[in-house]
Amino acid sequence: MSATWVVVLVVGAFTISFKAAGPLLLAGRQLPARLASAFELLAPSLLAALVVTQSLGGKDGIEVDARLIGVGAAAVAIWLRAPLILVVVVAALTTALVRLL
């Protein structure tokens, strides 16, 4: 088997099992109260990390580029209580415009 197919199949098998693990093995079951209380913090910590890695991550660690200005514009839109679609459009348009300059 070629290297490509090994990567595709192994990564696929891992990812499928990661995603299925909870719903298959723990579905409908209440987690222990302490763990459930800890998982309340997963969305804040993971979303914050995704904001950081998606706006600053690059090939070699940190890469500051037009994305950051786009995300800044999105932050202003969020602060002004713009709907989600507008927030996303503002981010993309601002980034595209900065790249044109």
Partner 1 sequence: MAPTGATEDPVSGRAVRPSNSDHRSPHPPGYREGLKRIAPVAPASASFGIAFGILASTSGLGSFAPIVMSATTFAGSAQFAAASVLDDGGTVAAAVVAAVLLNLRYLAISVAVADAFDGSRLRRFFESQLIVDESWAVAQRGGGRIDRRILVAAGLVLYPCWVGATALGVFGGGLLGKPERFGLDAAFPALFLALLVSVVKTRREITAAIAGGALALALLPFAPPGVPVVAAAAVCLTGLWTR
Report the C-alpha gap between 72 and 24 in whole angstroms.
Answer: 40
Smallest gap from Cβ 64 to partner 1, in A, equals 11
Report the C-alpha gap between 94 and 30 in whole angstroms.
Answer: 44
76 binding partner 1? (CB under 8 A): no
Report the C-alpha gap between 34 and 38 in whole angstroms.
Answer: 6
Binding characters for partner 1, 23-62, by CB under 8 A (x = yes) = xxxxxxxxx--xxxxxxxxxxxxxxxxxxxxxxxx-x-xx
SS3 55: helix
64 binding partner 1? (CB under 8 A): no
101 binding partner 1? (CB under 8 A): no
Smallest gap from Cβ 63 to partner 1, in A, equals 9
